[in-house]
Amino acid sequence: SLERYLATLIVTLIIFISIFSFIFYAIFFVQIPLRSLYPAYVTNEDYNALTYLKSLPQGHALSSPEIGYFLPFITDKFSLLGSVEHTLDYYEKFNDYKKFFSVTTTHDERRKILKKYRIDYVFQGYKESSISHGWLKLGAADGLELIFNNKGARIYRVSIDTRSSY
């Protein structure tokens, strides 16, 4: 009978569309956004370094976006980078962050980046070190003084006047 065939066809189409809609939802609204979100944790080394940073005077910190996402909440300091949605001029700042931690960047270029954003502290952990494929040796020539090192994260205090050019 034609009516029974049409009823079966309609029910089958509804089931097919429902399954397809569920799969589409699971892929595009659950899985893909989860991959792009910042991690829901920091390592113990990073957390200990951030806790130390909290004890220091107010200032602005340079770190990876992943650390920068947590930095204001844990340290009460300002972060140069956080999430794309909440950071003005994100891509310019992100490129400067990558340039700062690159092995090909000169000491003078690092100092200019510190001054450009009025940075007071530099956080260097595994994420930041991945740019230079190892621990970048930062120091006085870059305008930095190492003030914390726990083998998994380092904190540098900026030792140059980053506010004089403004």
pLDDT in tens, 69-91: 889 999 999 999 987 777 889 89
Q: Of 75-84, 109-118, 133-142, where does the model show the most confidence?
A: 109-118
Which among 39, 3, 31, 53 has a CA at the least distance from the CA of 127? Answer: 39
Is the separation of the CB atoms in 148 and 123 below 8 Å?
no
Is the separation of the CB atoms in 44 and 151 below 8 Å?
no
Three-class DSSP category at 50: helix
In the structure, what pLDDT confidence band is assigned to residue 166 with cuts at 50, 70 and 90?
very low
At residue 31, the pLDDT reads 56
Calculate mean pLDDT across residues 136-160: 92
- pLDDT value at 7 more than 50: yes
Dihedral of CA atoms 126, 132, 137, 141 in degrees, nearest 10, equals -130
- Residues shown for the chain: 166
Beta strand pairing status for 144-149 and 78-79? unpaired
In the structure, what pLDDT confidence band is assigned to residue 106 with cuts at 50, 70 and 90?
very high
